């Protein structure tokens, strides 16, 4: 991995930090010169991942969320969002669109579906009782023009 | 106030603004539900013109209001969503439950 730039962010899993986290990551990736749609995609994907940590990983408790963002060669953004929360017993099930364990709180069950569709790649690693990490990548400036 | 609500001819319109995420959603939900329960409108319009950001928490907000409205035979309209918000709505398939319109 050819890393051109890197930043790390640690913050408490309180909902006030959802806005802070997505804004901070978008500020960092501004040097890749993304267009408005790319910024929106990144902002939304980060918001989903951080919300998952708050709603699910640290349910009923407060822990630390760690975000690592990197700018890679080829104008690619790398984002890793990590928690030390409860972990996901069945990742495949958790990633199914509309599946949620928090329906009574009006969670739509779309977090991973949004991350998957708004970013180029999504990897989820989890161990029950130890935590979860979500890694997303997106190439910036790829314009899908017809040839 | 992140929501301004108007009632007219059995139609309740909620003009949402700012960022809709998991942090902001509960307050919006409370405000809108209070109006719905008081007025029992036949149509609930959620106006997104001034919403600058929305993640799937906004989809949850629409789904929840849809359930309440359909409980007494009312319907729900998503009005003027900006492009980013429309993208999240379409991904969720909520446009099958609620009409998306521009005025």
Q: pLDDT per residue over A67-110, tens digit each?
A: 999 999 999 999 999 999 999 999 999 999 889 999 888 899 99
In a domain, A146, yes or no: no
* CATH code for residues B3-101: 3.30.750.24
- Residue A13 sits in which domain range? 3-139
In a domain, A51, yes or no: yes
Burial of A11 (0-12, 13-18, 19+ CB in 10 A): middle
Q: What is the DSSP letter of A56?
A: I
Mean pLDDT of A120-126: 98
**Which residues in chain B have their CB less than 8 angstroms from residue A110's CB?**
56, 59, 88, 91-92
Whether residue A117 and residue B91 make contact (CB cut-off 8 A), yes or no, is yes
In a domain, A145, yes or no: no
The structural domain count of chain A equals 1
ipTM attached to this prediction: 0.94
> Which chain A residue has the Cα nearest residue B57?
A107
Query: If we measure between CA atoms, which residue out of A48, A14, A34, A132 comes closest to residue B91?
Result: A48
Distance from CA of A38 to the nearest CA of B (A): 10
Residue B61 has its nearest CB partner, among A51, A106, A118, at A106
Strands (E), B9-96: 11-20, 43-54, 75-79
In a domain, A147, yes or no: no
């Amino acid at each position: 991995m050819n890393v051109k730039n890197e930043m790390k962010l640690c913050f408490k899993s309180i909902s006030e930090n959802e806005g802070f986290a997505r804004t901070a990551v978008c500020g960092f990736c501004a040097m890749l010169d993304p267009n408005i749609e790319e910024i929106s995609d990144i902002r939304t994907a980060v918001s989903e991942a951080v919300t998952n940590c708050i709603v699910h990983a640290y349910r009923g408790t407060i822990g630390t969320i760690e975000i690592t963002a990197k700018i890679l060669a080829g104008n690619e953004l790398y984002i890793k969002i990590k928690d030390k929360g409860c972990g996901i017993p069945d990742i495949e099930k958790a990633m199914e669109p509309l599946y949620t364990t928090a329906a009574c709180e009006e969670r739509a069950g779309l977090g991973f579906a949004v991350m998957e569709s708004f970013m180029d790649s999504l990897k989820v690693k989890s161990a029950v009782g130890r935590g979860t990490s979500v890694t997303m990548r997106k190439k910036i400036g790829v314009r899908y023009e017809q040839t | 106030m992140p929501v301004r609500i108007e009632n007219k001819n059995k139609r309740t319109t909620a003009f949402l603004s700012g960022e809709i995420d998991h942090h902001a959603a509960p307050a919006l939900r409370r405000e809108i539900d209070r109006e719905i329960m008081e007025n029992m409108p036949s149509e609930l319009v959620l106006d997104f013109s001034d919403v600058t950001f929305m993640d799937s928490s906004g989809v949850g907000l629409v789904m929840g209001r849809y359930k309440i409205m359909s409980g007494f035979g009312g319907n729900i309209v998503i009005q003027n969503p900006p492009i980013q918000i429309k993208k999240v709505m379409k991904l969720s398939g909520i446009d099958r439950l609620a009409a998306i319109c521009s005025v």
